[in-house]
Structure 1
């Protein structure tokens, strides 16, 4: 008799659960952080107490109806809840943007958009480098017996070396371009990781910088971080240009 009672209770709750699902529609969504997909984000329907997680593409599926509350949580991102509206149901799709959870006050996410902090960390990074082997000084084999140094980088000799390339070809009298200097000065990693410029756009970005500053303005003593600040500003401006 007791077993029969348990069976009837189980059937009752199963029927209720099925009825709840029948009233709901399948909603597909994507979770993003700064336009990048978020994988492994917990997605919970607080009304039905059903849960799922986002896949490698940041996508999820959930049965919902108007008024349901979807809860989004993950270790690295702030808790967020979204109430399902009729507009969401009509579209049957939703995009949820989450914010990063900062657990330590002295740990910050630095991007070119936070320019002051970015430049401060770049300055500290340069202080730690051995510039005879540093990745940012690709012209390390040029003579450095004369000229101006700043934190180990000989700006004058880099310019002289590049200008010497031009003089070898007497038929070419074009002035030195900023893009040529920057290409010799920095590795691809600097443009991609620190400035957020896609690798395939580095050349276009350098040409974009050509008419924004003169080579003489970034050569000489105490110009290294003026150059960094210039590149940060221009990377922000370049990324705002609509893509064709």
Structure 2
């Protein structure tokens, strides 16, 4: 009897261990043109909102379950999504190949200033620089909203009403995506990944919005055009997250439910 109990315990333990191992997928990311390994490829599990990168050999390991979607992105290569299958979990490592994308440089025109020596004339040739400020709103935990060149009162009033309605339209039916904001902020791997990126690709994929809507969200949250153009993806994430938290406070104050 004791032998049967021991055998049952052994089988149960082995099953649990195999189940735990099956929660991770292994792989190697290769350049499709020459099969050479790619180092530092960004990999994010879109379902669990966790990330990792490949090592020098192109290898990676990430937690995943069946039907989870992994997003692979690398500078100069086309990003792809790969669905996790039973076979992948069961049989181990898999090769993922990325294809190099053609990059076109935009033409940049540099206009030389022609100074006349007269201050009144020359000063008009200088580009206009918009100073951005942040106005605090009483009762909110953050430092407030960043404002551009409009009047302070107009901007503050707009920041209270306009973003709330816009965000409700954008995210009212996307509770899962909003929950991802918190997960993204908590995952150090994803934060490090976003801090080095400026293309907004990962944010649009995780939040399921296009680039135009993403910029519009930040703009309606009263962040300046200059901030939107120069901020990295992590700063954009924090801006959206901060705006959403303030939106929830304002909505509760007006008796709305999120």
- The structure number with the bigger radius of gyration is 1
TM-score range, shorter chain: 0.3 to 0.5
TM-score (normalised: structure 1):
0.33
